[in-house]
Amino acid sequence: MRGQRHASDSQSRWESTMGLAKQIGIEVHPELCIFLEANSWSPELGYMPTKQLLNRTRDFTALYCFNDTAAVGAIRAIADAGLSCPKDISVVGFDDISTAVYHIPSLTTVRQPLRQMGDMAAQLLIKRIQNPTEAYADAIFFDPELIARESTAPVVPVAATAKKTAAKRVKAAR
């Protein structure tokens, strides 16, 4: 799930997500990508795009959301489609908002080191005020932390999924 065009960190989050997916061997199928459009702080942000995706296909097992608010909406769309999170589709958010742990299921999310980022920003500002002509780095990177909670389940190997599907077909044919 890619963030809105107007969101300042949408492009960098998308590029980082795609880069890491490639690096660890996860194939991202463009037809399964959701692009957020709404300018909203409501879970509706992720609800409608997820609902539209589920109307097109249910051939995916996980959804990585632009932020936690969109993830909450995505989980609701999954439930409204008669599916279960995480049994049918795992959902991961981003930001670790204060309500993420209280949602049902509690939300697996990526936490940014906000205090460390704020401290670094304040230190850089003070240095720039004291030394305005000094050269500074164009970008500073921080390591996020995965907070695993209830909205994700272990990956089911493709072979196991195929066996289960074949077994259902045999059972249904009887």
Using 50, 70 and 90 to split pLDDT, how confident is the model at 164? low
Q: Which of 25-29, 45-49, 152-156 has the largest mean confidence? A: 45-49
The DSSP element (H or E) to which 169 belongs, if any, is helix 158-173
User: pLDDT digits over 96-117, tens only?
Assistant: 999 999 999 999 999 999 999 9
What average pLDDT does range 110-136 have in this prediction? 93
Asked whether residue 170 carries a pLDDT value surpassing 80, the answer given is no
What's 10-113+142-173's CATH class? alpha beta
**Spans of all domains in the chain:** 10-113+142-173
Q: Which pLDDT score is estimated for 155?
A: 82
- Output the six-digit token pair for 50: 């997820």
- What kind and span of H or E run contains 117? helix 114-130
| % of the chain beyond a pLDDT of 70 | 90
Could you list the beta-strand ranges (E) of the chain.
Answer: 62-64, 90-94, 108-111, 145-147
Indicate the DSSP class of residue 42: S
For residue 15, give the H/E element and its range: helix 10-23
